[in-house]
Each structure stands twice: as structure tokens, then as C-alpha cells.
Amino acid sequence: MSDFKPPVDDMAFILEHVVGYRDIAALPGFEHADLDTVVDLLEQSADFMSKVVAPTNRIGDTQGAQRQADGTVTVPDAFRKAYSSYVDAGWGSIPFPEEFGGGGFPSVVGLAIQEMLQSSNMAFALCPLLTQGAIDALLHYGSDEQKALYLPRMISGEWSGTMNLTEPQAGSDVGALTTKAVPNGDGTYAITGQKIYITWGEHDMTEQIVHLVLARTPGAPEGTRGISCFIVPKFHLDAEGNPAEHNAVTCLSIEHKLGIHGSPTCVLSYEGATGYLIGEENLGMRIMFVMMNVARLSVGMQGVALSERAYQQSLNYSRERRQGLAIGAEGKDSEIIEFPDVRRMLMTQKASIAAIRRLMLLNATYMDTASHHPDAATRTRAGEIAGLLTPICKSFGTDLGNELTSLAVQIHGGMGFVEETGVAQHYRDVRIAAIYEGTNGIQAADLVGRKLPVRDGASALEFIATMRETLGDLVAAGDDFTAIGAELSTQLDSLEKATVWMLRTGVADPNGVLSGSSPYLRMWGLCLGGWLLARSALAAANTDNADLAQEQLVMARFFAAQLLPAATGLAGAATAGSRDLFALDADALSGLVRR
């Protein structure tokens, strides 16, 4: 299997030239995180991920997590060793506040490191990813005592965290959950119910697991308004704050899955387990959104991460495998990289990965601005943009993750479909990313239902206007850039028209808007990708690195000419309304129409 080379050069270029990292490093609190320091950190992280974590990927897939007869869950030895080195090196603590032992770095730096961890081993990376969600919830809503008890050891990675939302009858509709939380009279609650699909819900990689559990208190309002969030530690804490007796939570089973075999996905039973309320009763959904917001971006990044690793593998394969003779070639046979259709697949991978990596890191910089900028109006606007981009990053990033890893399988021909090359694992592993953390359909509904209406649509339209500002620079940059600018301009027109349609249709026909929400979200993804690659090409042209300038220009031109035009193609579906989706009833869809 080919080695994984983390794309640190591209990350450093993006930070310096595309997402304006120097402005982030200038924000109060980030003084120690200047660009040179950060690039150095990324290089060290790349070394660690590729040497220590990446070799565990295949073992996780073949060996997987195992539930033992006594209800404990074991992970491969290689995972435990790699995790212990990960904790010792402090990689998990980078983006968290220094007062709890974190590195105090911007979240954009944490996200870049997370990409490398996820490429190295997505199943393994899910443990810190879920812990990060739980940490964010505690940072925002935990009491001082809870923060002091849990955060330092969760941030160091000694303890892991989980997010317990899903129940058999409550998936996308979280408000349908029925797990109960009954006051014990001493300030704690007795938590009873069953949660399913809980990632890293039970395992032997850390000495403690801090479950964050959504449940209902007696008399709580119906639906999402009546949900509260509790800390339920796997082990009670003794007077010194160390794990002691087992709490009443058990792992009933773990799922057998298409991919991420190394990540235990657990059915957890809470039988009067002691829980500690976070914040106040009925605040659960607000807390859940805090957990999910950063997690959504991290899951979007899984699409980038696995596409990158699969791309590297398919590129190597295309340079080794020889078949037939390419046009104009001499000799007996050619490397398959010489065939135009293989080139098409490789360029689609390379340009798309570059586009979505830029989008993810841009989103994270808006999150950093929203949390750290001294000016309130700038913080608010950055928060609006981060809110707009997050469902796009999650959905477009993971859809592309599925498509690009599929292309990597395709480049391998039959060898892609057999397991021994390892490329099929990336395709299987990434499939879940479009499903969990809010399915991609739910992300599209979030975009049109919650994000577009911000300031009656002005927020989204202003962002389209921001993207248009690059068009003048493209014209000024000369012939090479003109075609890119013309295509981007056409596609932004389509996006704006579809946006206006969505806004106009919204209240009168919400089902019509929801019917077009997924193609509409993809229009955004394509336009954002084309825009960011165009900006990259402009920036690279202004460096003294001719190879870099050529690479960025070709990627922007390829994306603009061959991928971006699909945005206009999607406009029809985005604005078609619901008529034909509902014109056939369920029986007719089942082929039960009388002929």
C-alpha cells in the first residue's frame, strides 16, 4: 500500500495566501500563533500522523473493534499505542483554551491538523472528534466545577467524550427522544433509556469516557424544547476527581458496519445512571448545536481527508499500472496516467480536493473571527458567514468525499474493488460522513430554512457580492484568467437567481424550497470552490514560484471549465418546486399503477 504524504505545503499556502491567516494571528489571544510557528507545527504534526497513525488504518479495518462477553469493548493494540503517543505529544489539545491545558491556537489550525489525522485513520480520529464536541459544549455551558473536573483531562486526551443524541425512534428528529432524567434530590439525576449508534461509546483506549447525554426531565415540554443535556461519566469520580466505581451505563452491542470498523459504534443502555445537568433544564438543543457546529465542519473535513488519501493512492497506481498504448506513445504499453479519461479523474480529484480544503479552512477562519475579533459588528458578520458556510461544508464536502473516493476506486480498475490495495477502505469509510452529524438532506434544509432567511436574505446575497469582488481582479490579471472570471460570473448569476427564487418562494411554498434544497446547496459549493480556486491562482501568480503559479492556474481553469458549469445545470432542479416530486403517490412509486 502506498505511503500517505500529508498536504502541508497546500495548507501553508492556503493559510498564507487564500484565507488571510495573518489577520487571524493578529486577533487578541492568538499572538503566539504566528504563521511561521503554525507552519512548523503543521510539519511536526504531518510527521507524527504519517509515521504513527497512518500505519494503523488497515489494522483498524481488518481487526476492528470487538465487544467482549462482559460488555467491554477492545480496540486493536496498535490503536492504543498510537493514541497514547497522540496524547503524550499533545496533538488533541492544540485548539483549546490554555487555562485548561490547551494550546490556545485558532480553530483553523486545529482543523488542518484534524484533516491529517482523519486521512491517517478516520475510525481512530473519531475518538478525538467526538471528544472535541463534548469539550465545546462544556466550555460554553459547563459550570466552573464541571469545567475544572472534566476539561483538563478531556483536552489532554486522557479521557474521551461522546455525544448521545440518537435513539431507535429519534434519528434526524432529535425531539422524539424519550430517555428520562429524574432528579435524585441531591442535585444529580437518574438517567434511564437506550441510545444507539454512539461513536466510541465504549472502548479501552482511555481510562474514562465522559458521555454527554440528551434526556427529558419530568414534565418537560414536548419536542426539542423539552430536552436537557447531562454529563454521565462511565466511572463515578472519587473525592480526588479520579475514576472509581462503574456508573450504570452498559454497552449492549456494537454495530457491524460498511466502514470505520476500528470505531466502535455502540448501543448504550442507561439504567438509572448518575447524570449531572449542564446549564439549565431544557437547554439541551442549544448545547447540542454548540457540540454539532464544530463537529459538522470536522465531518465535512472527513470528505477532504479521505479524498486526499485515496487520491494519493490512485495517482501512484496510475503511474505504475501499464495497459495498452496511449495515443502518440511508443513501445509496448503505457502507464494508465497517459490516458485522457484517467487524467480527467485525477484532475477532478485534485481540483475538487483543493477547492473544498480551501472552503473548510475559510469557514474555520470565520469561526475564529466570530469568537475572537474585538469589534462586535465584525464578530456578528463573521458568525453569519460561518453559519451559512457550515451546512455547505458538511454536505458538499462529504458528497465530494463519496464521489472522489469512488473515482480513486475507478482508477484502480478491478484492483479497486478487491480489498488488498486498501483503496476500497477509503470509499467504505467515508460513506457514513454524508449520514451522521445531521444527514446531508438535513444540512440542505438548514441552509434554506435557517441560514438563507438571516436578515431576510441580505446575509447570503452580501456574501455572493463578496465573491463577485474577485471578478475585477481576474479581468485585471490578464488573458489566462479571463475565462475563469467569465465562467465564475455566469455561475454566480445563476446562484443569485436561485437564491432570490428561494427567498421569494420560502414562506408561500416551504415544501417547494425544501424540494430544491440539495441541488441548491451544491450550487453554493461549486461557486465557492470555483471562487476560492480563482483566488488561489491570483495569489500564486504574485509569488516568485512559477511552478506553484502554473499548478494553481491549471486547477482554477479546469474547475471553472469542467466542474463549475454544473451549477447552472442544477438551477433547474433547485427551483423546480415540489410538483413532480409529489405528483406520484407512494403506490405509484412502487409501480402499483394499473396499466
Ligand X SMILES: Cc1cc2nc3c(=O)[nH]c(=O)nc-3n(C[C@H](O)[C@H](O)[C@H](O)COP(=O)(O)OP(=O)(O)OC[C@H]3O[C@@H](n4cnc5c(N)ncnc54)[C@H](O)[C@@H]3O)c2cc1C
* Residues 261-280: x where in contact with ligand X by CB under 6 A, - otherwise, as a string: ----x---------------
User: Least Å distance between CB 440 and ligand X?
Assistant: 7
DSSP letters along 91-150, please?
A: GGGTTS-GGGT-----HHHHHHHHHHHHHH-HHHHHHHHHHHHHHHHHHHH--HHHHHHH
| 199 scored as a contact of ligand X (CB under 6 A) | yes
Which of 13, 86, 189, 197 forms a contact with ligand X (CB under 6 A)? 197
Q: Which of 62, 172, 511, 545 binds ligand X (CB under 6 A)?
A: 172
Nearer to ligand X (CB atom), residue 130 or residue 549:
130
Give how far Cα 229 sits from Cα of 215, 226, 284, Å: 6, 10, 5
Between the two ends of the chain, the Cα-to-Cα distance in Å is 54
**Choices 4-12, 381-389, 430-438, 499-507; region in contact with ligand X by CB under 6 A:** 430-438
Q: Name which of 312 and 518 has its Cβ closer to ligand X.
A: 518
Stretch that binds ligand X, among 29-37, 67-75, 164-172, 580-588 (CB under 6 A): 164-172
Query: Does residue 435 belong to the site contacting ligand X (CB under 6 A)?
Result: yes
The closest of 553, 112, 21 to 304, measured between CA atoms, is 112
Chosen residue from 177, 198, 268, 285 binding ligand X by CB under 6 A: 198
Asked if 445 touches ligand X (CB under 6 A), the answer is yes
For ligand X, the binding residues in 536-595 under the rule CB under 6 A are none
Q: What angle do CA 434, 315, 300 make, to 5 degrees?
A: 20
Among 122, 165, 292, 409, binds ligand X (CB under 6 A): 165
Q: Which of 156, 194, 371, 439 binds ligand X (CB under 6 A)?
A: 439
Q: For residue 436, state whether it binds ligand X (rule: CB under 6 A).
A: yes
DSSP, collapsed to helix, strand or coil, labels residue 328 as coil
409 touching ligand X, by CB under 6 A: no
Kindly give, in sequence order, each residue whose CB lies less than 8 Å from that of residue 28, ignoring residues fewer than 6 positions away: 372, 374
Closest distance to ligand X from the beta carbon of 401 (Å): 15
- Is 511 a binder of ligand X (CB under 6 A)? no
Per CB under 6 A, which region of 26-34, 162-170, 240-248, 485-493 contacts ligand X?
Answer: 162-170
- CA neighbor of 305 nearest in space, from 116, 525, 528: 116
Phi, psi of 210 (to 5 degrees): -100, 105
| Residue where the block lists cell 476492528 | 64
Residue 288 engages ligand X in binding (rule: CB under 6 A) = no
Residue number, nearest CB to ligand X: 171
Q: Is 166 among the residues that bind ligand X (CB under 6 A)?
A: yes
**Catalytic annotation, pick one of 115, 167, 281, 437:** 437
Distance between CA 133 and CA 298 in Å, rounded? 10
Using CB under 6 A as the binding criterion, the count of chain residues that bind ligand X stands at 19
Q: Let me know: does 189 contact 179? Beta carbons within 8 Å.
A: no
**All cell numbers assigned to 245:** 466505581
Whether 167 sits among the annotated catalytic residues: the reply is no
The CA distance from 212 to 277, in Å, is: 10
Work out whether 449 is an interface residue with ligand X (CB under 6 A). Answer: no
Binding part of the chain for ligand X, among 33-41, 157-165, 305-313, 388-396 by CB under 6 A, reads 157-165
User: CA-to-CA distance for 528 and 539, rounded, in angstroms?
Assistant: 16
Phi, psi values for residue 77, rounded to 5°: -50, -40
**Residues classed as catalytic:** 437
- The residues of the shown chain that bind ligand X, judged by CB under 6 A, are 130, 163-166, 171-172, 197-199, 257, 265, 432, 435-436, 439, 441-442, 445
